Structure 1
Amino acid sequence: MILPAFAAPGRFYRGNLHTHSTLSDGILPPAEVCRRYKAEGYDFIALTDHMIGIYGYPIADTLPFRDEAFTTLIGAELHSGPMQNGELWHILAVGLPADFAPANAPAFVPVAGQETGPELAQRAVDAGAFVAIAHPQWSGMTLDDARSLSAAHAVEIYNHGCAIGCDRPDGFQFADLLLSEGRCLTIVATDDAHFSEPDHFGGWVMVKSEALDPQSLLNALKAGHFYSSQGPQLHNVEVTDGTVIVESSAVAAVIVQGHGSAAQVRHGRSMTRTTLTLDRCATSPWLRITIVDTAGRRAWTNPLLRSTR
């Protein structure tokens, strides 16, 4: 089968799903954030300021920055708590209604009577949002925390701001363990840009949609019709009973990952059509593919859930 992101109709649009402005702790106003992403070749962004009391619980109105070549999704980074380590949850919600009611989160410390993180995530999903577990490594999240967020569509598997700021960018362990427990999840790469350091233009999603339209993009995100990247491009991925065929921009490695230690790799030079057998992944209930270019930049497919004999 061809993975859904490549079989779906439409074309790929480049977008960032996690960004901040002067409405919370970013250093650029919303208009300038949008201008810079558009100038760098992005088709859309979600401006996701911290929806917390010290900033006035903002949801950024980015409608004035839309045009025929660039659009925005309304979103926020939601907070409530606590997680097992005593800190507030960080929950990425894209596609929120502008009147979404905030949680009782006056500041970045828990208070009595707050919604739990899972309750807040469920409320965002019920309101129509695409919800991702934000920067789990940075947050000090436990696997039990991640398990409890059952409403989430996705895990943030690469966060460029966390890579630049503290070398904690990773969400793969959480995503892979949840997949092996039977969760149906996608994976997203983001910037988490604040523009106070070089935390921008480092990780994005490529969303397959029939139109550069906020609702079409949101529907595609929920359907898993996207892949994530730091630079390399994926053109097509096809999985049969025994092989994976990957068509891409020129890369130096193609890796298939699955349950537990299941993984296979093909190394080479300027590979654009790569075939791997699935011997070591034959019994894995899920697969995902990573491609790596000569600069070490990666792109990742969403997981494929599969039945195995």
Structure 2
Amino acid sequence: MIPSAFAKPGRFFRGNLHTHSNLSDGAISPEEVCRRYKAEGYDFISLTDHFVGLFNFPIADTVPFRDDEFTTILGAELHSGAQENGDLWHIVAVGLPADFAPTKTKFFVAEDDQETGPEIAQRAVDAGAFVAIAHPEWSGLTNDDAMSVTAAHAVEGYNHSCMVDAARPDGFHTLDVMLMKGRRVNVIATDDAHFADPDAFGGWVMVKAEKNDPDQLLEALKAGDFYSSQGPEIHHIEVKDKKIHVECSAAYRVVVQGRGCKAHAIWGESMTKAEMPVNKMGKSPWFRVTIVDRAGKMAWSNPIWLD
């Protein structure tokens, strides 16, 4: 069994799915955001400015900044309703139509008359977007909050800006809780860059598609045909002969995680291949793979369901 991200035709394109410009609270223009990501070797981005009335509900028109080497997907960071802790929801929506209807969120404040977080996420999915729950650790998201977003395609497992500014970058506990409750969600790494601090180019997705085309990239995201990284590459994952086989760029640790406490680490010098028996995952119906290189940078597969 080979996950479709490693079986389908095409190549991996590097992209960032969460970034801000001076259309909301970022420090630089949309054009400069796109220029910097292209200069850093990215194939695409989604510019996801804060979709609130304070900024006139922006969905940045990044179409003029596309060319033969670099493309963009329209998107926004949506805010509506209160989490259990009373704070406003943050939902990343990639692939929104330019005319997506505004919410009742004028400022960064949750009000009783707003859509709930799960409702705005569902409306974004209905409009054609790929939706992710943003920075769970930074937001103080509860497990009940996370489970309430039934429309989510993914969870932000790593958010670079939240690492730089708050040392709260993670969403993997939220992801694993959702998986343990049977929710088939994937995981993304993002920057959430605002460019006032060194908060860019720290986490990204590698999306498998035949062309660097917005529509193809969006469909691949929805299908889970990607992995996430801070630098290492995942070349192949396969379940064969009762073993999990992994091929990657040079790593000193390959970790396979499953339900609950199930995890197994494989150590080695400059490993480019690793394998372990599937039974190390016990009765876990899924596993995911984490690659760690010599510098401590990581790459993460999406969860792989054994059925």
TM-score greater than 0.5 by the shorter chain: yes
Matched, 1:48 2:24: no
Q: TM-score, normalised by structure 1?
A: 0.98
Matched, 1:24 2:24: yes
Cα shift readout 1:24-62 (whole Å, capped 9, x = no counterpart): 000010000000000000000000000011111111000
Matched, 1:151 2:154: no
Which residue number in structure 1 is paired with residue 186 of structure 2?
186
Which residue number in structure 2 is paired with residue 66 of structure 1?
66
State the Cα distance separating 1:173 from its structure 2 match. Answer: 0.6
Q: Return the alpha-carbon distance in structure 1 between the equivalents of residues 176 and 92 of structure 2.
A: 19
Contact residue 82 and residue 116 of structure 1 kept, 8 A = yes
Question: Counterpart amino acid of 1:244?
Answer: I
Question: Counterpart amino acid of 1:14?
Answer: R
Q: Return the alpha-carbon distance in structure 1 between the equivalents of residues 183 and 152 of structure 2.
A: 10
Residues 242-257 of structure 1: pairs in structure 2 closer than 5 A: 242-257=242-257
Which residue number in structure 1 is paired with residue 260 of structure 2?
260
Contact residue 257 and residue 287 of structure 1 kept, 8 A = yes
Percent identity, please: 63
Residues 79-94 of structure 1: pairs in structure 2 closer than 5 A: 79-94=79-94
Which residue number in structure 1 is paired with residue 119 of structure 2?
119
State the Cα distance separating 1:306 from its structure 2 match. Answer: 1.8
Question: Counterpart amino acid of 1:254?
Answer: V
Contact residue 96 and residue 129 of structure 2 kept, 8 A = yes
**Root mean square deviation of aligned Cα:** 0.8
Q: Structure 1 residues 4, 224: CA separation in 2 closer, same or farther (over 3 Å shift)?
A: same
Which residue number in structure 1 is paired with residue 37 of structure 2?
37
State the Cα distance separating 1:138 from its structure 2 match. Answer: 0.3
Q: Return the alpha-carbon distance in structure 2 between the equivalents of residues 173 and 111 of structure 1.
A: 28
State the Cα distance separating 1:280 from its structure 2 match. Answer: 2.6
Question: Counterpart amino acid of 1:74?
Answer: L
Which residue number in structure 1 is paired with residue 77 of structure 2?
77
Contact residue 257 and residue 281 of structure 1 kept, 8 A = yes
Which residue number in structure 2 is paired with residue 176 of structure 1?
176
State the Cα distance separating 1:110 from its structure 2 match. Answer: 1.3
Q: Return the alpha-carbon distance in structure 1 between the equivalents of residues 50 and 266 of structure 2.
A: 41
Q: TM-score, normalised by structure 2?
A: 0.99
State the Cα distance separating 1:242 from its structure 2 match. Answer: 2.5
Contact residue 81 and residue 112 of structure 2 kept, 8 A = no
Which residue number in structure 1 is paired with residue 238 of structure 2?
238
Question: Counterpart amino acid of 1:51?
Answer: F
Q: Return the alpha-carbon distance in structure 2 between the equivalents of residues 243 and 138 of structure 1.
A: 36
Which residue number in structure 2 is paired with residue 135 of structure 1?
135
State the Cα distance separating 1:282 from its structure 2 match. Answer: 3.1
Moved over 6 A (4+): none
1:200 alignment partner, SS class: coil
State the Cα distance separating 1:278 from its structure 2 match. Answer: 2.7
Q: Return the alpha-carbon distance in structure 2 between the equivalents of residues 162 and 263 of structure 1.
A: 26
Contact residue 23 and residue 55 of structure 1 kept, 8 A = yes
Q: Return the alpha-carbon distance in structure 2 between the equivalents of residues 230 and 171 of structure 1.
A: 15
Q: Return the alpha-carbon distance in structure 2 between the equivalents of residues 37 and 222 of structure 1.
A: 23
State the Cα distance separating 1:255 from its structure 2 match. Answer: 0.4
Contact residue 92 and residue 134 of structure 1 kept, 8 A = yes
Question: Counterpart amino acid of 1:97?
Answer: P
Contact residue 242 and residue 282 of structure 1 kept, 8 A = no
The number of equivalent residue pairs is 307
State the Cα distance separating 1:241 from its structure 2 match. Answer: 5.8
1:47 alignment partner, SS class: coil
Matched, 1:8 2:11: no
